[in-house]
Amino acid sequence: MGYIEKLLAKNERVVFVTRHHWLALLPTILIDIGLAVVIVALSVLGFIFSPPFTLFGLLLLLVPLGHFLIRFTAWRNEQYIVTNRRGMEVRGVFKKYVSDSSLEKVNDVVMEQSALGRLLDYGDVRIITGSDVGVNAFRRIAHPIRFKTSMLDQKAHLGGYDEEEVEPEKVPEMLDRLDELRRKGAITEEEYEREKKELLEHL
């Protein structure tokens, strides 16, 4: 059983998982490549002027390699998860940090994407709740639109939008709640129309 599975409650399931976009690793990659190039260049000079220095120089290549592996492992273990009950942030390799927001307490989900973010599919997501903390901010995560829609879809399930037996007298109230989410920008026009259509089918 993996670490994430151990965190799940009874009947809770993972719906979507993402992490920081690969661009988060770009500075590390560039620095380590630059350092490796310098080491190789010095090793070549060492081979010309002092052959014993070459072996030592090549051993130094383990430094940028080790640094990259450490940063990659940390990146790999930082996950942003949507379950059918909550949104979660999990990070750390040996020492774990876990933060979650119950979908029932989520008031709004705000997503921001730059032009480059839209092109490369990354962005910032803020989960606004009624708790003391108030806001959970996830910076430069991959697939932010899917993260947001997955969370809102699961919140809608909790709200009863997709239940087979929706009481007709509650449909107007649910439509009002749905319209409020649309006006806040928490759901798209397409999501609004889809949920609205499903609710109207229960009248």
> What is the H or E stretch that residue 57 is in?
helix 51-59
Q: What is the pLDDT of residue 101?
A: 86
150, 152, 118, 106: which is closest to 18 by C-alpha?
A: 150
Q: pLDDT tens digits, residue range 142-171?
A: 999 999 999 988 888 775 544 445 567 777
> What are the distances in angstroms from CA 188 to CA 20, 47, 114, 163?
23, 63, 18, 21
Q: Are 72 and 79 in contact (CB under 8 A)?
A: no
28, 6, 4, 26: which is closest to 16 by C-alpha?
A: 4
pTM of the shown model? 0.69
Alpha-carbon torsion (92, 98, 103, 109), positive or negative: negative
Place of tokens 């889809």: 194
Q: What is the pLDDT of residue 50?
A: 65
Report DSSP state, residue 133.
S
Q: pLDDT tens digits, residue range 90-142?
A: 999 989 999 888 888 888 888 999 999 999 999 999 988 865 555 688 999 99
Place of tokens 């439509």: 175
> What is the H or E stretch that residue 40 is in?
helix 26-49
Q: What is the pLDDT of residue 162?
A: 46
CA 162 to chain centre: 25
Mean pLDDT, residues 27-52 taken together: 83
Q: What is the pLDDT of residue 163?
A: 46
- Mention every residue, 6+ apart, whose C-beta is less than 8 A from residue 87: 80, 81, 100, 101, 103, 106, 127, 136, 151
Query: What percent of the chain is modeled with pLDDT above 70?
Result: 84
Q: What is the pLDDT of residue 134?
A: 55
